[in-house]
Structure 1
């Protein structure tokens, strides 16, 4: 037990021992400057420096256009183009449905398969028509109560 403690104390004394780093002029052996260091301080400064470099590099990559060069990230222009193309494809799909409905109605006219009760001048858009009678537009009790509260509050605010 005491042997381990002595080894640990010797190790701590070794890394805390002051050392001197001297920078000399090669030709004149004149001392330019010197530092008093120990191994523990050098280790701490090197660790902090490495963490700082990693942080700065990560920040530069994450918040600058450099991230576009990393696989998996795309440019903002590419995202905007994808959105625009999606909108165009939706509108083209809708136009295609309208054209198909028109072609089907022309086929029915040419073959004579018309149902005279369903003939409408807006027959192209008839498939997109939604009957409003399918929906309940009556206000619920909670909505009526909320309307009363809002009316009361607006009357108070006007006074």
Structure 2
């Protein structure tokens, strides 16, 4: 016990002992600047300076165009262009599908596979639209059992918290 206490006192005395920093003119030995410091003050000022420097650097990188020079970050203009091109390619793909269906229908008419009276451009284009199939969204028996188990566990948890509060 006393050994730990002695170490603490020794550390405390080292940290809080006042020292004097003096800057002298070398030619005249005139005191230019003088400052009383403790080791703790130097540590605190150095830590705050490092935190300030790190935060300013982070702020500059995060909120200025400098972030584009860091590998892995892309420019906002590049992101906008990519989104715009993705939309254009999607719409061009849809137009291409419609044109392909129209051309294949015309080929059928020209080769005689399809009667002329049945040929209608709107029906061809309507046939090419992708429809989402309806899925059965009703819960299965396993899901209903799981829901019941979860409800029972929640009720038990609520009852135990109510008992603990009392």
Q: Conserved in 1, the CA contact under 8 Å of 2:102 and 2:121?
A: no
Instruction: State the alpha-carbon separation in 1 of the partners of residues 26 and 118 from structure 2.
Output: 104
Q: Which shifted more, 34-43 or 96-105?
A: 96-105
The CA deviation string for residues 32-73 of structure 1, in whole angstroms up to 9 with x for no partner, is 111000101100110111011111111111111111111221
1:57 aligned residue = 57
1:99 aligned residue = 99
The secondary structure found in structure 2 opposite 1:127 is: helix
1:78 aligned residue = 78
Instruction: State the alpha-carbon separation in 2 of the partners of residues 80 and 13 from structure 1.
Output: 61
Residue 121 of structure 1 deviates from its aligned partner by 4.0
Query: Which blocks of at least 5 consecutive residues in structure 2 are unaligned?
Result: 131-166
Q: Conserved in 1, the CA contact under 8 Å of 2:98 and 2:128?
A: no
The secondary structure found in structure 2 opposite 1:122 is: helix
Query: Which blocks of at least 5 consecutive residues in structure 1 are unaligned?
Result: 131-159
Residue 8 of structure 1 deviates from its aligned partner by 1.3
2:32 aligned residue = 32
Q: TM-score, normalised by structure 1?
A: 0.75
Q: Conserved in 1, the CA contact under 8 Å of 2:102 and 2:125?
A: no
Instruction: State the alpha-carbon separation in 2 of the partners of residues 46 and 30 from structure 1.
Output: 28
Q: TM-score, normalised by structure 2?
A: 0.72
- Computed over aligned residues only, the root mean square deviation of the Cα atoms, in angstroms, reads 1.8
Q: Which has the higher helix share?
A: 2
The secondary structure found in structure 2 opposite 1:125 is: helix
